[in-house]
């Protein structure tokens, strides 16, 4: 496992180049370019707000910000893990030709997708202003759930990228899993309608925890409990360790299935 850390510093320039290439490819031949990253979530937020405002706007304070934060976190997780899942297979030709630390591919996809998602989160600022939410120092606390989100995405991305090499139908199964995650993350409905008996299972969904922490920082102007931070750190740490171990054990067999 020490090879992971040694290769990281030895080939770090390659990692940065992979991330830079992915970001450039996303906006290549795009007329709006980076602006689209902000417009897209804003338009989706407007649609969701129009559809669900009559149902939940009276029970959810600052409904537009509530929906937008949930949607942005979910899309970030969905995109980063999906791109990471297919990263090894997508770079099969390069892996067959030269030596490259294979975990760089899922890592670079997570980093580039996460960077693009951070740009999308700029869209929260005008919506907060329109919703008459005041900016305070507590808003800075959003960096913690975003960091946990990156760790969650990396851990799950490593696991998915390993399995996908041997089992291509995983993409269809994971698409269904993401739908379940979306509906279990309280993106557009109030948390208090979730029955107490299933709440412990909902809280095992890492995206639900992240979304709630972001909303506490931006909407409710409060900090999350220390126990929540510790749980997220522990949860993410376990996922990353499982991901690294699984990837390490199977990476030498990748070449036979690509």
pLDDT tens digits, 42-77: 777 777 666 666 666 557 788 888 988 999 999 999
Asked whether residue 32 carries a pLDDT value surpassing 60, the answer given is no
The confidence score (pLDDT) of residue 144 equals 96
The helix or strand, by DSSP H or E, that contains position 65, with its residue range, turns out to be helix 63-85
d(CA 60, CA 124): 17
| Distance (Å) of CA 225 to CA 208, 209, 213, 214, 236 | 15, 11, 9, 13, 17
The DSSP secondary-structure symbol of 133 reads P
Check residue 180 and give its pLDDT. Answer: 92
Tell me what pLDDT residue 158 has.
96
More confident residue, 32 or 188: 188
Q: Alpha helices of the chain — where are they, by DSSP H?
A: 2-10, 12-27, 34-56, 63-85, 87-90, 92-97, 104-120, 124-130, 143-166, 170-183, 199-202, 206-218, 226-250
With a cut of 70, say whether residue 224 has pLDDT above it.
yes
Q: Per residue in 125-181, pLDDT tens?
A: 888 888 888 888 999 999 999 999 999 999 999 999 999 999 999 999 999 999 999
Instruction: Give the best-scoring range by mean pLDDT among 21-25, 26-30, 203-207.
Output: 203-207
Give yes or no for a contact between 96 and 255, defined as CB atoms under 8 angstroms apart.
yes
- pLDDT at residue number 131: 83
């Amino acid at each position: 496992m020490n090879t992971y850390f040694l290769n990281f510093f030895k080939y770090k320039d390659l990692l940065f180049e992979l991330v830079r290439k992915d970001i450039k490819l996303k906006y290549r031949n795009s007329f709006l370019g980076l602006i689209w990253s902000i417009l897209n979530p804003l338009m989706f937020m407007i649609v969701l707000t129009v559809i669900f405002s009559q149902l939940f706007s009276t029970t959810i304070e600052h409904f537009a910000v509530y929906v937008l934060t949930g949607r942005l976190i979910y899309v970030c997780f969905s995109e980063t893990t999906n791109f990471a899942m297919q990263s090894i297979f997508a770079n099969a030709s390069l892996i067959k030709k030269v030596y490259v630390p294979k975990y760089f591919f899922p890592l670079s996809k997570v980093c580039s997708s996460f960077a693009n998602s951070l740009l999308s989160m700029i869209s929260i600022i005008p919506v907060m202003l329109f919703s008459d939410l005041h900016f305070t120092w507590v808003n800075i606390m959003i960096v913690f759930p975003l960091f946990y989100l990156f760790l969650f995405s990396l851990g799950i991305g490593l696991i998915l990228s390993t399995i996908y090499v041997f089992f291509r139908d995983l993409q269809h199964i994971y698409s269904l899993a993401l739908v379940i995650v979306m509906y279990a993350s309280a993106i557009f409905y109030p948390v208090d309608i979730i029955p107490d008996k299933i709440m412990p299972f909902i809280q095992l969904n890492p995206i639900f925890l992240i979304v709630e922490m972001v909303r506490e920082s931006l909407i409710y102007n409060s900090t999350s409990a220390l126990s929540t931070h510790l749980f997220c750190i522990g949860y993410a740490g376990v996922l990353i360790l499982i991901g690294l171990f699984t990837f390490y054990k199977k990476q030498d067999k990748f070449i036979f299935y690509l």
